[in-house]
Amino acid sequence: MNTAGRFVALMHGFEAIRVESPPLDEAAERSKSELIAALVDARKNVSDPVSERIKGFEKLVADGAPKNFKARMRQHFEKSSVLVADLWPMAGTSSSPGLIDIRDRLAHMGWRSINSQSLSVATWHLSLYAERYCFDRLGVQLSKTTICPDRLRREEWYSVAAWQKARSEAFDRN
């Protein structure tokens, strides 16, 4: 499997994660129900296109969990105990792509649109996310593994300078 294929395969695993919202307390549940009822009423007095938009918002309120992949990942890793602060971020900024931005670029423009060295570094970091996630779910302490920060310090691609450089060059042509 080539690097782009490996990256996409790893990312598919994360796409399958469903963020579960904690249960609402009684007051919040009542407010949510009132909002949904108000949205149902609002749909009765508008045109079909507007009604469909309101219906979509109504469904979003009812479901409670974010639909956007970046938002789901951000919420998931904020709630989990998986250490990711030392890795290439999942979500990027306008000037620095995250791993999800690389996934989007691969999906829409192909592997040639990403610097090959940057793709390799990104894939390595994504594999660390996956390994740490699995160890966390299995109850294995990160300090007992070969992917703990103390052991990774010897890896060139683990240094912040190395992955920041790869990140800044990710969308430059090879």
Structural domain boundaries of the chain?
Answer: 26-63, 69-169
Rounded to whole angstroms, the Cα distance separating 19 from 36 reads: 21
Q: What is the mean pLDDT of residues 51-76?
A: 76
- Of 145 and 25, the structure prediction assigns the larger pLDDT to 145
pLDDT at 97 over 80: yes
pLDDT at 18 over 80: no
**pLDDT at 58 (0 to 100):** 82
Q: What is the mean pLDDT of residues 143-159?
A: 91
pTM for the predicted model, two decimal places: 0.72
- Of 77 and 98, the structure prediction assigns the larger pLDDT to 98
pLDDT at 174 over 70: no
Query: Which DSSP string do the residues of the chain spell out, in sequence order?
Result: --HHHHHHHHHHHHHT--PPPPPP-HHHHHHHHHHHHHHHHHHTTS-HHHHHHHHHHHHHHHH-S--SHHHHHHHHHHHS----TTS--SS--SSS--HHHHHHHHHHH-GGGS-HHHHHHHHHHHHHHHHHHHHHHHT--GGGSTTSHHHHTTSGGGSHHHHHHHHHHTTS--
User: How much of the chain exceeds pLDDT 70, in percent?
Assistant: 93
**pLDDT at 88 (0 to 100):** 93
- 19 confidence band (pLDDT: 50, 70, 90): low
Rounded to whole angstroms, the Cα distance separating 114 from 171 reads: 5
Q: What is the mean pLDDT of residues 88-114?
A: 88
- Of the ranges 23-27, 54-58, 68-72, 75-79, which is most confident? 54-58
pLDDT at 138 over 60: yes
Burial of 117 (0-12, 13-18, 19+ CB in 10 A): middle
